[in-house]
Structure 1
Amino acid sequence: MPYQVIKDFKDLQDDNHQYRAGDKYPRAGRAKKDRVEELSGNDNKMGEPLIQEVNE
């Protein structure tokens, strides 16, 4: 599934890569399911969804 960044954040698990709203997530390869769940929900350091699934 493709994902899009909805709020700017620095990914601490991706060498501090800075993602900006509108960017594709992840920038390369495939995202792990647990990481996608963390970033798309409230269970992350920012406490709010940072990415969302893109329907193609």
Structure 2
Amino acid sequence: MPYKVINDFRDKENNNIIYRKGDTYPVEGYKPSKKRITELSKEHPEHRLVFIEEVKETVKQINSEQDSNEDEQLNENKE
């Protein structure tokens, strides 16, 4: 399940990767623990920030993305 970064942070549990607001969490190839997801999606006691939120894709968004990808492929084939 992908998450959206809503506040910048450094992931100390994954090679200190820096995530910026708007990034997708986690990076490809990294599978965080459920505990880590919970830590990042709840208010941090020291920083008083939430760092990630769950991305909820609707069927309409998924279909729109697929249509966009198909259009790009068609345009590439014409060139």
Moved over 3 A (4+): none
Gaps of 5+ in 2: 58-79
TM-score norm. by structure 1 comes to 0.84
For 1:18, what is the secondary structure of its paired residue? strand
More helix by share: 2
Gaps of 5+ in 1: none
Structure whose CA Rg is larger? 2
Partner Cα separation in structure 2 for residue 44 and residue 16 of structure 1:
20
Go from structure 1 to structure 2 and tell me whether the alpha carbon gap of 1:4 and 1:31 turns closer, same or farther (over 3 Å shift).
same
What is the aligned length?
56
The one of the two structures with greater contact order (alpha-carbon pairs below 8 A, sep at least 6) is 1
TM-score norm. by structure 2 comes to 0.62
Q: Is the 8 A contact 2:7 2:49 kept in 1?
A: no
Compute the RMSD of aligned alpha carbons: 1.5
For 2:53, what is the secondary structure of its paired residue? strand
